[in-house]
Amino acid sequence: MSLGEIIQVTWLSLLVSGSAVLLAMAAGLPAAVLLYLKKFPGKRLITALVNTGMGLPPVVVGLLVAVLLWRTGPLGFLGMMYTPAAMIFAQFLIALPLVIGLSLAAFEQVDPEILLQARALGASRFQTILVLFRESRMGQLAAVIAAFGGVVSEVGAVMMVGGNLKGYTRVLTTAIVQETRTGNLRSAIYLALILLALSFLINLFLTWLQQKGARRWQGPGWK
Amino acid sequence: MARPGLEVRNLVVQVAGRKILEVSYFDLRKGECLALFGPNGSGKSTFLRTISLLQKPEAGEIYYQGQAVGPKDRERLQQKIVYLLQKPVFFRGTVRDNLLLGLRFRGIERKQQTARLEKTAELFNLRSLLDKFPHELSGGERQRVHLARAFILEPEFLYLDEPFNGLDVRFREELMSDFHKIRKVTGVTTVLVTHIRQEAVYLADRMAVMLEGRIVKVGTPEEISSAPDSSEISRLMGQEALVEGVVERADNGLLEIRGHGQTIYAFGRQKAGDRVVLTFRPEEVILAPARPASSVRNWFEAEVREIRPYDRMLLVLLDCGFRLKAFVSRSSVEELGLGPGSKVWAGIKATALSTWPDPKEIDSSGNEK
């Protein structure tokens, strides 16, 4: 594999997984707030589904997206099959329950009296939600770390809906599979090291953010 | 007369279908400090949350400055009201961040924020604590910061839920006296929830006594102490139940009561044959080495059972056929040479005893049988 190809593959990995996580946050965080603050029938069922979704096998998600996007499928008219957009869609579905589930768990760590005290000091509803995020930001970061780690390393879904097309939908994980299959073990190992390093650097950055916050905000006997 | 700052009518709050609060009328005058006083579980905190507009009542009307509060007014009024929870919970950040957060909620501009922070830090003596984190503070300091973040908002109505709870005596008295001064300076209309009589008497212009979800009596601390209306309020106000007995004679309000082998004189509205409960304040009991000639009608020969320190006084537990408590100073105990087993005369004026219908003779509706 040429250097250009490696850069292109790495960039696509970052783009697909990063976009999927950002979209999952955009949809998942409001959903987690609703699940945390509102009482409605079926809340328990939805929470159970979200928790199940956190362990969803990527190939199953890949299959679901393929069925939807297939030329004869309900969303076939979009012509998205075997495009990076399809890969983002699949990874979004994998990341979404992780973001909702872990974010909800982080909210539940916040002392409900903090929110009541915020309201009692004059916070509007929106400001109260901001306080909720502020108080649980460590847990929110953990949710992002888990979601990104989950999607950047999966291979099943992107393979199925992206098709591993060279120069178009090939990402680090599918490239590793490809190179191993054709006996280019050296290339496969380089790509694997890049994937590991990438994953490590991003996690290092997020963990650094988290611990910086922890040192600044938290201490023994907090509350 | 101007309309009261807050009026409440026919308020009902239910939790899980059970009525936990029922207040037919309550008013709060501008600038006063009212103590909501009652035992734990009497509905004080629920009432406070409801008038803070944080808990929706099932029924009833709340009027702020003469205007009925509707769902649309809540956000606007919440800017004028500050309610402090009993537990001082802090937000992430330093003491400074915690003090400023409420101002940020209200969209107060930065210059004004700094000015108010300066003023409040000065008033509450918090300058040295501003850059500390809440977990680095002592219990007394935390409570001080908790109170300060209410005052910094300069609210019109300040609702405090047991703000001096859980502090040791020294911190409590210091903070209470500071609070008293600061409240006088700012003139903020205050409701203070407490189950401690001394707090209510010391800080409040008026008291509202709560029992089982109802406000049963409102008045100045003096009015409530001198005419408590029921033996429950009387007990809450620090009067000890003395003895149950039967009225033998009633003469122009002076009752001669037989109980526990003693004859006791007290004033009351009961008639001969009624069963009564007598209550008194331990500070009204006089101790003497021998029965003196005096205007005091009730003298009992008693044996000292135990002497315990209580606040700055001593509590002497006596047995004179029934149990009697007396508060006396340390020097009096020394002068009288009191110790467990020693004999002493205990006197109490007939006017210092309150008489109540025996609760066993009162039906559940509160009417005497």
Same domain, residue pair B187 and B250: no
**How high is the pLDDT of residue B369?**
37
ipTM: 0.79
**How high is the pLDDT of residue B232?**
80
Q: How far away is chain A from the Cα of B155, in angstroms, using its nearest Cα?
A: 10
Same domain, residue pair B227 and B345: no
Same domain, residue pair B217 and B249: no
The answer to whether residue B250 sits within a structural domain is: yes
Is residue B241 packed enough to be buried (19+ CB in 10 Å), middle (13-18) or exposed (0-12)? middle
Q: Which chain B residues are Cβ-neighbours of A121 within 8 angstroms? A: 82, 101-102, 105, 149-150, 153
Same domain, residue pair B103 and B248: no
Q: Is B136 on the interface with A (CB under 8 A)?
A: yes
> How many Å apart are CA A166 and CA A8, to the nearest integer?
10
Contact between B89 and A111 using a beta-carbon 8 Å cutoff? yes
Same domain, residue pair B194 and B310: no
**How high is the pLDDT of residue A214?**
60
Q: How confident is the model at residue B364 (pLDDT cuts 50, 70, 90)?
A: very low
The answer on pLDDT for B171 being more than 60 is yes
Q: Is A122 on the interface with B (CB under 8 A)?
A: yes
> How many Å apart are CA B304 and CA B340, to the nearest integer?
5
**How high is the pLDDT of residue B277?**
82
Mean pLDDT of A86-107: 97
Mean pLDDT of B192-205: 86
Q: Which chain A residues are Cβ-neighbours of B107 within 8 angstroms? A: none
Cβ neighbour number for residue B17 with a 10 Å cutoff = 6
For residue B192, give every residue at least 6 positions away whose Cβ sits within 8 Å of its Cβ, in sequence order, or none: B33, B34, B35, B36, B160, B163, B199, B200, B203, B204
Q: DSSP assignment, residue B4? A: P
Q: Is B84 on the interface with A (CB under 8 A)?
A: yes
Q: Among A25-29, B217-221, B320-324, B330-334, which range has the highest average pLDDT?
A: A25-29
* Structural domain range at position B126: 6-232
**How high is the pLDDT of residue B237?**
77
The answer on pLDDT for A208 being more than 90 is no
Q: Is A119 on the interface with B (CB under 8 A)?
A: yes
DSSP secondary structure of B165-194: TT--HHHHHHHHHHHHHHHHHH--EEEEEE
Q: Which chain A residues are Cβ-neighbours of B81 within 8 angstroms? A: 122
Q: What is the CATH number for B174?
A: 3.40.50.300
Q: Is B93 on the interface with A (CB under 8 A)?
A: yes
The answer to whether residue B272 sits within a structural domain is: yes
The answer to whether residue B80 sits within a structural domain is: yes
The answer on pLDDT for B198 being more than 90 is no
Mean pLDDT score of chain A: 91
Task: Name the domain boundary from B206, B232, B258.
Answer: B232
Q: Where are the beta strands (DSSP E) in chain B?
A: 6-15, 18-28, 33-37, 59-64, 67-68, 81-84, 157-161, 189-194, 206-211, 214-219, 240-251, 254-259, 262-267, 275-280, 286-288, 298-310, 313-319, 323-328, 343-348, 354-357
Contact between B85 and A116 using a beta-carbon 8 Å cutoff? yes
Same domain, residue pair B93 and B116: yes
Which of A117, A129, A216, A223 has the most B C-beta neighbours within 10 Å, making it the best mutation to test the interface with B?
A117
The answer to whether residue B366 sits within a structural domain is: no
Task: Name the domain boundary from B202, B232, B262.
Answer: B232
Nearest CA in chain B to A223: B89
Q: How far away is chain A from the Cα of B85, in angstroms, using its nearest Cα?
A: 6
The answer to whether residue B369 sits within a structural domain is: no
The answer to whether residue B42 sits within a structural domain is: yes
The answer on pLDDT for B133 being more than 50 is yes
**How high is the pLDDT of residue B223?**
84
Same domain, residue pair B74 and B215: yes
The answer to whether residue B218 sits within a structural domain is: yes
Same domain, residue pair B42 and B136: yes
Contact between B135 and A217 using a beta-carbon 8 Å cutoff? no
Mean pLDDT of A153-166: 94
Contact between A118 and B105 using a beta-carbon 8 Å cutoff? yes
Which of B101, B145, B156, B161 has the most A C-beta neighbours within 10 Å, making it the best mutation to test the interface with A?
B101
Same domain, residue pair B319 and B224: no
Q: How confident is the model at residue B224 (pLDDT cuts 50, 70, 90)?
A: confident
Q: What is the CATH number for B345?
A: 2.40.50.100
Of B90, B91, B106, the CB nearest to A122: B106
Task: Name the domain boundary from B232, B256, B273.
Answer: B232
- The model carries a pTM of 0.75
Tokens of residue B366, six digits: 């509160």
Same domain, residue pair B195 and B340: no
Q: How confident is the model at residue B306 (pLDDT cuts 50, 70, 90)?
A: confident
For residue A20, give every residue at least 6 positions away whose Cβ sits within 8 Å of its Cβ, in sequence order, or none: A87, A88, A90, A91, A92, A94, A95, A151
Question: For residue A38, which phi and psi values (nearest 5 degrees)?
Answer: -95, 150
Q: How confident is the model at residue B201 (pLDDT cuts 50, 70, 90)?
A: confident
Q: Is A114 on the interface with B (CB under 8 A)?
A: yes
Q: Is B92 on the interface with A (CB under 8 A)?
A: yes
Mean pLDDT of B351-355: 84
B84-to-A73, A74, B63, B74, B190 alpha-carbon distances in Å: 58, 55, 21, 17, 11
Cβ neighbour number for residue B309 with a 10 Å cutoff = 9
Q: How confident is the model at residue A221 (pLDDT cuts 50, 70, 90)?
A: very low
For residue B18, give every residue at least 6 positions away whose Cβ sits within 8 Å of its Cβ, in sequence order, or none: none
Structure confidence by residue, pLDDT tens digits, A58-67: 999 999 999 9
Query: How many domains does chain B divide into?
Result: 2
* Higher pLDDT among residues A222 and B4, named by residue: B4
Same domain, residue pair B173 and B296: no
A38-to-A30, A32, A33, A41, B200 alpha-carbon distances in Å: 12, 10, 8, 10, 38
Q: How confident is the model at residue A138 (pLDDT cuts 50, 70, 90)?
A: confident
**How high is the pLDDT of residue A222?**
32
The answer to whether residue B223 sits within a structural domain is: yes
Same domain, residue pair B184 and B266: no
Chain-centroid distance, C-alpha B54: 23
**How high is the pLDDT of residue B359?**
58
Using CA atoms of B76, B82, B86, B87 in order, give the dihedral in degrees to the nearest 10: 80
The answer on pLDDT for B39 being more than 90 is no
Q: Is B135 on the interface with A (CB under 8 A)?
A: yes
Q: Which chain B residues are Cβ-neighbours of A217 within 8 angstroms? A: 92-93, 133
**How high is the pLDDT of residue B28?**
95
> How many Å apart are CA A61 and CA A89, to the nearest integer?
10
Q: Are B206 and B219 in contact (CB under 8 A)?
A: yes
Among A30, A17, A45, A23, smallest CA distance to A155 is for: A17
- The domain A3-214 is placed in CATH, from the list 3.20.20.70, 3.30.1490.20, 1.10.760.10, 1.10.3720.10, at 1.10.3720.10
The answer on pLDDT for B69 being more than 70 is yes
Size of interface A-B (CB pairs under 8 A): 62
**How high is the pLDDT of residue B363?**
41
Mean pLDDT of B218-228: 82
The answer on pLDDT for A223 being more than 50 is no
Q: What percent of chain B has pLDDT over 70?
A: 95
Q: How confident is the model at residue B83 (pLDDT cuts 50, 70, 90)?
A: very high
* Higher pLDDT among residues A131 and B322, named by residue: A131
